[in-house]
Chain A
């Protein structure tokens, strides 16, 4: 009898738990979970580059917003329906990531951070510059009536939840599969010692470029999903804070773990949401918690779980 491996069980369990949560939580938490799942895709994209490949980018807001505007502009200005517009979001993020990756990957370390940050800032200003189409900092609404897929109203809470779940599940299973392949293992080798990986004959430049493309496309899919499910695209999502947030979510959840991005995104969301109910100084609580976790759980929540209890955690 063939028994499923522990990581297959884990991934199936995570997805089953997310499905189950829809039926046992209130409408409020349903809405939150839908948003968390969409944003966790962004964090998973970030984790693929940072957690598995060791490249710390400060420009992922641009990839996220490329997907967001790719879908939003296609629907608002080109009258596309949801599916082709979503495809345009993916294409936009692929094109932006491809172009930036081609230049930025000529650097590494701190220089890579700075170059990606500068590209993202340039992208943000470009969005403001083309305000006629993007409505700049104000952004624009994607009308409720247009957000239907095969006749399914994606603004309905149930449909929204399951659309977010589908996006999350596809991305999650892709990551879970990719990190188990020889390609994924090579990315880890690059993260641990790029010179050694190169010496062993791996084309590290190609691997890093492909990892960046995958990371950018996942981020773009998240941006397109956010615009589609929550009806808004705006330049705020291209600003520097949205490059910092996925880094934070991944660090909190556990870099280089498949469930870390989901855990980190959910933890950060509820940390703000709950603490703001008790004090107006909730940002102080959030900051102190992050400092505490960084000091005492430097590998993040899932990373710590792996270190202490479950070394098999993928």
Chain B
């Protein structure tokens, strides 16, 4: 029978000792003290090699660029603090072309050619799902930054984790209460007709109905579509909220045509910032979005009095208060997602520190990770506090809802971590290491 909550772990004594990422962080901090460092440093001077599966080309390239910058910033910080167990981190970056075949090849390369201690950084779900079987077979810890529900759904394996970014199922269902209570009870959904869109369709519909709301219509847009106006007459007139999650190159056309269709008198809009990651909110055609709402994984525009460590994190990764590059204000970041790389690298440092001295570092890393529960908000986890579920290998955390006001996203609501919980669907700790 599935458990109703995701917070607690199996009572393994070794894991209990490693329960809090705070404690792990403490151990990591100790490793930067000269004496302590010397003790673990004695094991080897070799760098810790981390395979970074980067979307440098293909549809994920905009994300990949910023994932890489964030990764470099995190590595610089960790190495300046003494690295991992006294060993510097060396990033082995390989372009996966945002392609599952190449992704699997790259994972093999990390494991068998570069002798990496772990791999991380993958965003697109199809690349994760195509690569994870090889990571599991090669017993290479594979820490993804993807948002997909693939890890927690149980289809992957014990060596695959998503420790620092929440999954789409938890994100979507956490939106339903806000949408229902604040924006309207009758929703029409527009989504791309592939797995990403289907996840939104299924998880939001279920959560919204549970809250007492009604889904009036579900409009699936074929993947190769470039013009959208002909779909809009299918939106029922009594729609109060239009939930949209279009992604890809045609998203600006979608928003522009939506604006022209309604002419400022349509239903309220709610969307996911995935549609507009790396897109300047001042782009022509986006004026229509003024007053609409978006989910954000981490607020792109710096919010006064929110997220204590946001400013320090922005400075470290080279992003200004508007979410753009410090060196080029037109180079807008993928701010709602890229924190996952920063946090994952610190997570890797902490679990490797906790696993120091073990005969098999890779297995010990997995066991140490499975022992983590609470992740405190800190400069190492600037997006906010989180709870990691060692059984499902998935983290749960706060979500942010922002309103577009004057071409800027202002946070109007942040969810609790509990809002994102759903019953466990797998217990990876039952699988062999």
Contact = CB atoms under 8 A, between A and B. Distances in A.
Given A35-B105, A138-B195, A141-B132, A234 B95 contact: no
A138 B222 contact: no
Interface of B: 56-57, 94-95, 99-102, 104-105, 108-109, 112-113, 125-126, 129-130, 132-134, 136-137, 148, 150, 155-157, 193-196, 198, 222-224
Contacts of B155: 140-141
A138 B108 CA distance: 20
A135 B137 contact: no
A138 B56 contact: no
Contacts of A26: 112-113
A312 to B, nearest CB: 35
Residue with the greatest number of chain B CB neighbours at <10 A, chosen from A26, A137, A276, A280? A137
Residues of A in contact with B, size category: 20 to 34
A128 interface: yes
A35 B130 CA distance: 14
Given A136-B195, A136-B198, A139-B100, A234 B130 contact: yes
Contacts of A140: 129, 155
Interface of A: 26-28, 31-32, 35, 125, 128-129, 131, 135-142, 144, 155, 230-232, 234-237, 272-273, 276, 280, 282-283
A230 B112 contact: no
Contacts of B57: 283
A234 B193 CA distance: 15
A280 B96 CA distance: 11
A73 B367 CA distance: 33
A46 to B, nearest CB: 16
A234 B108 contact: no
B109 A135 contact: no
Contacts of A236: 99-101, 126, 130
Contacts of B102: 272
Given A137-B125, A144-B136, A231-B133, 12 more contacts: A128-B193, A131-B195, A136-B195, A137-B126, A138-B125, A138-B194, A140-B129, A230-B134, A232-B104, A234-B126, A235-B194, A236-B99
Interface centre among B95, B101, B156 (most CB of A within 10 A): B101
Nearest to B114: A28
Q: Which 3 A-B pairs have the closest CB atoms?
A: A231-B133, A138-B195, A28-B113
B262 to A, nearest CB: 28
Contact of A273 (B99, B105, B130, B223): B105
A29 B219 CA distance: 47
Contacts of A237: 101
B133 A141 contact: yes
B133 A232 contact: yes
Contacts of A28: 108-109, 112-113
Contacts of A137: 125-126, 194-196, 223
Nearest to B131: A232
Contacts of A129: 193
A96 B109 CA distance: 35
A31 B134 CA distance: 10
Given A129-B193, A230-B104, A273 B109 contact: yes
Contacts of A139: 100, 126, 129-130
A128 B223 contact: yes
A142 B129 CA distance: 10
A103 B38 CA distance: 73
Contacts of B105: 32, 35, 273
B129 A138 contact: yes
A84 to B, nearest CB: 21
A155 B134 CA distance: 9
Nearest to B92: A277
A144 B157 contact: yes
A141 B195 contact: no
Contacts of A128: 193-194, 223
A125 to B, nearest CB: 7
A231 B134 contact: yes
A276 B94 contact: yes
A180 B174 CA distance: 65
Contacts of A125: 222-224
A144 B133 contact: yes
Contacts of B133: 141-142, 144, 230-232
Nearest to B155: A141
B132 to A, nearest CB: 7
Nearest to B56: A280
Given A28-B109, A236-B126, A141 B194 contact: no
B123 to A, nearest CB: 13
A141 B223 CA distance: 22
B224 A27 contact: no
Contacts of A144: 133, 136-137, 157
B95 A280 contact: yes
Nearest to B198: A131
A282 B102 CA distance: 14
Contacts of A31: 108, 112
Contacts of A231: 133-134, 137
A31 B56 CA distance: 23
